[in-house]
Amino acid sequence: FEAMGKTITHVGESGAGQMVKLVNQVLVVGNCLAMCEALLLAQAGGIDLTKAYDAVKNGAAGSWMFTNRAPQIIDRDWRPGFMIDLQQKDVRLVLEAADQLGVPLPGTALIFQFYRTLQSMGLGAEGNHGLMKALEHLSGVEVGEAKA
């Protein structure tokens, strides 16, 4: 286990670890969507994205996703830390488990559809932060700048 992660936490009986992995995925994709929407709003509002990033990264809105993936989005760097195709598989597993438990996860279901759209555009091998491209497509606003 130590080869797979820094923190090892026993969470319960057999199967509990898998459920916690699904819980983690809800938080990952939810944070990713929130980050993308925030950067989109800042871009549309004419805010310098690097300054906005610096202003909020250490506050209550900060997260691993924001700290690590917002700079990539600002630089329009879609290299994967985790590919859209793999993220989509995990989100599908989340929604299947939620369905079996009778628990609605409307935000996660929406994100599943965004990732499905990106896959249909041939972007499945890009990083999961490529979720931004779905929002750019909806809004007509392109976020960040490619570095020369």
The verdict on whether 51 is a catalytic residue reads no
Long-range contacts of 21-27 (CB under 8 A, 24+ apart): 21/90, 22/90, 22/93, 22/94, 22/97, 25/87, 25/90, 25/91, 25/93, 25/94, 26/94, 26/105, 26/108
What is the greatest pairwise CA distance in the chain?
A: 52
> Phi/psi zone of residue 9: left (φ > 0), alpha (ψ -120 to 50 degrees), beta?
beta
Closest Cα partner for 38 from 22, 56, 13, 60?
Answer: 56
Residue recorded with tokens 């699904």: 22
From 6, 21, 51, 133, active-site residue: 21
Catalytic residue IDs: 21
